């Protein structure tokens, strides 16, 4: 899902030989690790740093060890805690599981075995960290996330959200990467009567099949090797709230069947159990892929597709709703100003024209990143084209050149984009002629916002042709 964090591991071992061994094996896996040789030191580290994984020596379950284990979960309730035993001691291991320890291994474990287990812990820790990250974001924001955009498409989506928020209807959000699928999912949750309950998002494509199943549904003791005690899954965790299944198109077919069952029966079964647990969870799914197409080629279950598709929300790519760009830009500039304690006023007209001309294949996320970068680069009040990434800048120069020296071959183009451009230039010119250059009235006639008219005038290089007031110089007879 591209959550950018690096997993941190804390190693606590007072035995110099095994300490060195374990450290070497962990580092060879490219993990960032802090290592200490006593529980006391470990306690301090836990307080001052964040970890997702802790390997600690476990010689008893006396008070001191118990306190240490509770400290671990106090600092991070989703920590993967692994006990290092001197020799295999089943009773001790079982007692520690009751305290929340995930697994116990002998200190002298073989490196191949250790690496295999480490990979599993890391995958699980990543999944839990993602879930934690998302619930935190949600909690910090108090209330609905801000969704910017006044285009017809966005207004339609916002109206739809309001209408459906309170029903338990399943939604399927489709849209290219970075179009705001997750944001819309959060908005639906926040606008619903479930808003005080949890919102958990998981990326179905990022988690191996067997882990995904047991994390979603939980498991009972003995369900598989390593399942030493019962564990609640995400469905139970998010009960009464909203579960966002991102990239559902990546979900293995077998698991799709199980999700369908949840949707139909409102109940789940933990892995390894026959007992049903009833749950009340709203599911919102998202996909980058065209799921209807995935159904055709047999990679997605048709029945699940129809079940999810009761309420499809298609977020158009940013290039198809360019009128949202100015407002998004202002929003991101404001956000960065706060974050960086800056006082940038915005994009100058050239820069704004450039961001409007560019097609943003990475959509809103790419735009947000470009603004963030520009804010860091600029030392002035206004961001200029020189602060934007090169490709944005180039598209702008290219388009401006084409407006001033029309390409003779353009006459027989079949490109909708080019034709639209020519048509827009033509309509805007006519509107400005009719209104004698009055842009407010022209915008009304054209049925676009005043603001987008200004940007279009600039984008198409009509500024000099149609000065802000007065009769325009002849343009149509170019
Ligand atoms: N309409 C919008 N208003 C404000 N911010 C937006 C909007 N759309 C997207 N964003 C921001 O753009 C970024 C990407 O959005 P989000 O993660 O929801 O997209 P996504 O469709 O889930 O992307 P991906 O498919 O890559 O996971 C986020 O930082 C989000 O806050
Ligand atoms: Mg997403």
Spatial separation of the C-alpha atoms in residues 83 and 96, rounded to whole Å: 8
Average pLDDT over residues 396-417: 61
Q: Is the pLDDT of residue 461 over 80?
A: no
Q: Is 288 in the pocket of ligand 1 (CB under 6 A)?
A: yes
Structure tokens at 33: 């690790």
According to the model, what pLDDT value does residue 20 have?
Answer: 94
pLDDT-derived band at 240 (thresholds 50, 70, 90) equals very high
Nearest-CA residue for atom 12 of ligand 1: 365
pLDDT digits (tens, 9 = 90+) for 244-272: 999 999 999 999 999 999 999 999 999 99
Structure tokens at 87: 């020799």
Q: Tokens 């299944």: give the residue.
A: 245
3-state secondary structure 45-106: HHHHCCCCEEEEECCCCCHHHHHHHHHHHHHCCCCEEEEEECCCCHHHHHHHHHCCCCEEEE
Q: Is 137 in the pocket of ligand 1 (CB under 6 A)?
A: no
Q: Is 180 in the pocket of ligand 1 (CB under 6 A)?
A: yes
Spatial separation of the C-alpha atoms in residues 217 and 269, rounded to whole Å: 7
200 burial via Cβ count (<10 Å: 0-12, 13-18, 19+): buried
Nearest-CA residue for atom 29 of ligand 1: 365
According to the model, what pLDDT value does residue 89 have?
Answer: 84
Neighbouring-strand partners of residue 32: 8
Residue percentage of the chain with pLDDT more than 90? 54
Structure tokens at 278: 């009833």
* Nearest ligand 1 atom, CA 288: 25
According to the model, what pLDDT value does residue 402 have?
Answer: 57
Angle value at C-alpha 387, between 397 and 392, nearest 5 degrees: 40
According to the model, what pLDDT value does residue 349 have?
Answer: 87
Average pLDDT over residues 336-349: 90
| Residue 198, SS3 per DSSP | coil
Report all structural domains of the chain as residue ranges with CATH numbers, in order of start.
8-122 (3.40.50.2300), 143-316 (3.40.50.300), 322-459 (1.10.8.60)
pLDDT-derived band at 439 (thresholds 50, 70, 90) equals confident
pLDDT digits (tens, 9 = 90+) for 3-40: 334 789 999 999 999 999 999 999 888 888 999 999 99
Q: Is 465 in the pocket of ligand 1 (CB under 6 A)?
A: no
Ligand 1 midpoint to CA 147 (Å): 9
Ligand 2 midpoint to CA 171 (Å): 15
Cβ atoms within 10 Å of 469's Cβ, excluding its own: 10
Q: Which ligand is nearest to the CA of 149?
A: 1
- What predicted TM-score, i.e. pTM, was given to this entire model? 0.64
- DSSP state letter for 242: E
Q: Is the pLDDT of residue 140 over 70?
A: no
């Amino acid at each position: 899902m591209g959550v950018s964090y690096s997993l941190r591991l804390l190693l606590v071992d007072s035995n110099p030989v095994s300490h060195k061994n374990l450290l070497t094996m962990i580092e060879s896996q490219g993990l960032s690790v802090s290592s200490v040789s006593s529980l006391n030191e470990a306690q301090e580290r836990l307080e001052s740093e964040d970890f997702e994984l802790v390997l600690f020596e476990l010689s008893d379950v006396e008070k001191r060890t118990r306190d240490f284990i509770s400290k671990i979960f106090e600092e991070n309730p989703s920590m993967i805690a692994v006990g290092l035993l001197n020799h295999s001691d089943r009773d001790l291991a079982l007692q520690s599981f009751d305290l929340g320890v995930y697994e116990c291994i002998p200190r002298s474990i073989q490196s191949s075995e250790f690496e295999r287990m480490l990979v599993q812990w890391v995958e699980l820790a990543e999944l839990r960290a993602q879930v934690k990250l998302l619930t935190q974001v949600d909690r910090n924001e108090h209330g609905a996330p801000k969704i910017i955009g006044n285009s017809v498409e966005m207004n339609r989506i916002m109206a739809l959200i309001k209408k459906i928020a309170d029903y338990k209807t399943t939604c399927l959000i489709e849209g290219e990467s970075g179009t705001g699928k997750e944001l819309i999912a959060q908005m639906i949750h926040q606008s619903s009567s479930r808003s005080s309950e949890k919102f958990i998002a998981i990326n179905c494509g990022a988690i191996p099949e067997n882990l995904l199943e047991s994390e979603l549904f939980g498991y009972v003791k003995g369900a598989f090797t390593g399942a030493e005690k019962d564990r609640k899954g995400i469905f139970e965790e998010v009960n009464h709230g909203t579960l966002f299944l991102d990239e559902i198109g990546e979900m293995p077919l077998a698991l799709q069947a199980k999700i369908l069952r949840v949707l139909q029966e409102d109940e789940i079964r933990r892995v390894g159990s026959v007992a049903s647990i009833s749950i009340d969870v709203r599911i919102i799914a998202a996909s980058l892929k065209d799921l209807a197409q995935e159904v055709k080629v047999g990679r997605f279950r048709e029945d699940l597709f129809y079940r999810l598709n009761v309420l499809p929300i298609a977020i158009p790519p940013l290039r198809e709703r360019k009128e949202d760009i100015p407002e998004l830009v202002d929003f991101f500039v404001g956000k960065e100003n706060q974050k960086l304690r800056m006082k940038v006023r915005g994009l100058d007209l050239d820069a704004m024209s450039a961001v409007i001309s560019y097609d943003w294949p990475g959509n809103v996320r790419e735009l947000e990143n470009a603004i963030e970068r520009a804010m860091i680069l600029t030392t002035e009040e206004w961001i200029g084209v020189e602060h934007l990434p090169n490709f944005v800048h180039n598209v702008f120069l290219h388009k401006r050149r084409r407006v001033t020296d029309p390409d003779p071959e353009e006459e027989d183009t079949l490109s909708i984009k080019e034709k639209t451009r020519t048509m827009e230039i033509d309509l805007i010119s006519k509107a400005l002629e009719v209104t004698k250059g009055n842009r407010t009235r022209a915008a009304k006639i054209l049925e676009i916002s005043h603001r987008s008219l200004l940007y279009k005038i600039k984008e198409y290089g009509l500024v000099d042709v149609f000065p802000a007031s007065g009769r325009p110089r002849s343009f149509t007879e170019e």
